[in-house]
Amino acid sequence: MGILDNLFGISSDPDYERPRRREPDYETSRRREPDYEASRRREPADYAPRRQERTAPNQDLPSETAIIYRSELDQLSRFILDYPNIETGGQLFGYWTGTGTPVVCYVIGPGYNAQHYDTKFVQDWDYLQRVGRELHDRYRLQHIGEWHSHHQLGLAHPSGGDVNTMSYGVGKPGFPRLLLCIGNCTRTTSTVNAFNFHENTPRRYVQAAWDVVEMESPFRSIVDTELQRLILPPMTRQASHGQIRSTRNIVQESATVGTHWLTESAENVETMKAFVGMVQSVFPSHTIKTEVLKTGEPQIAIKGADACIKLPYGFPAKGPILTDEKGRELTGDSRDEWEIGEEPLTTTFGRWLSARLGLYR
């Protein structure tokens, strides 16, 4: 679904009734740089472990990093766990560094009148407008992006609707870049992945590694205190994190690796969702989850069967790889060879799936 629908007045859902288009009062001044006193100002980029950056920052492309304070990552976890079976969401406030890296300083969740569905979230527009105005006018925080959950759907990347909405929104006045966070959860833990969009490549988003500043955001306590009658806190008391992709645990990728097939287009994301559905049909009694390895390669994990399907760099020219849960490749016979032709990729995957995974049911 399109998580910026209520911001730009569009919807990727044909059944969604478009809300009356209104621009936030703080829109016209959102592009101004935060006016902090020099004695209080410290660029969060100073915390970033620059020696771990894979490439030199390029302001004309999406950043490979997203900076977030520990308190805000915890806040995201609590909001996501509030709604383990339906979508929820909210907005991200902060600013951008000189090299185009987002800095998340304050996270808000759903308003009272937000709409939660299995595959769609619509923010309470009045709540967003009121909170956004206060955060900008009082604290000079910019609206830098959106977040929403895919709860237990197993999709850790933006959907086709998400990409359509973000590519429409990025490049609008005041939005040369946008950050989108996608949350997933089990009953007890949550994960959040960050994706950066840039107006120069609106559909070629980059999955960013989190650079977590291990402290409370300097805005969290003061905003919660001064706006306590306005801000709606999460109901879940404690954050509970699964593994996140951060600058401290990613494996440095070779420059020859390039971009993965999954991130090249919205259509590929939809194809990946079809793959997941096909695996679920083969294993109806198992939990099927999509995961991103430390290398950045996605895989489909079949919980309880000790089997995973990894889509390596070079896919689909290179075939899927069947591994156990520890990443050890499972060998097969000659009928398991992957051959692509003019047929749809889902057909090729289905044939491979029948040959490789039929033995593991």
Q: What per-residue confidence (pLDDT) applies to 248?
A: 62
Please state, in angstroms and rounded to a whole number, the distance separating the CA atoms of residues 311 and 359. 20
CB 76 within 8 A of CB 147: yes
Q: What per-residue confidence (pLDDT) applies to 309?
A: 92
- Once rounded to an integer, what is the mean pLDDT over residues 324-335? 69
pLDDT confidence band for 93 (50 / 70 / 90):
very high
pLDDT value at 135 more than 90: yes
Please state, in angstroms and rounded to a whole number, the distance separating the CA atoms of residues 326 and 348. 26
Task: Answer with the residue of higher pLDDT: 247 or 355.
Answer: 355
pLDDT value at 59 more than 80: no
Per-residue pLDDT of 219-243, as tens digits, reads 999 999 999 999 999 999 999 988 7
Share of the chain above pLDDT 90, in %: 37
Is residue 196 helix, strand or coil? strand
pLDDT confidence band for 358 (50 / 70 / 90):
low
Per-residue pLDDT of 274-304, as tens digits, reads 999 999 998 898 899 888 887 888 999 998 8
Beta bridge partners of 190: 185, 241
Q: What per-residue confidence (pLDDT) applies to 292?
A: 84
Task: Answer with the residue of higher pLDDT: 15 or 129.
Answer: 129
Is residue 290 helix, strand or coil? strand
Average pLDDT, the chain: 78
pLDDT value at 33 more than 60: no
Closest by Cα among 81, 141, 133 to 109: 81
Domains and CATH numbers, the chain: 5-226 (3.40.140.10), 261-360 (no CATH)
Cβ neighbors of 124 (< 8 A, separation 6 or more) are 110, 111, 112, 113, 114
Beta pairing, strands 321-323 & 307-310: antiparallel
Radius of gyration over every alpha carbon of the chain, rounded to an integer in angstroms: 21
Residue 107, token pair as written in the block: 């996270």
DSSP one-letter code for 294: T
pLDDT value at 35 more than 60: no
Q: What per-residue confidence (pLDDT) applies to 341?
A: 61
Closest by Cα among 208, 132, 201 to 171: 201
pTM of the model: 0.58
Which of 27-41, 180-194, 245-259, 327-341 is the least confident region? 27-41
pLDDT value at 16 more than 90: no
Give residue 333's Cα distance to chain centre.
Answer: 38
pLDDT confidence band for 319 (50 / 70 / 90):
confident
pLDDT confidence band for 179 (50 / 70 / 90):
very high
Task: Answer with the residue of higher pLDDT: 271 or 13.
Answer: 271
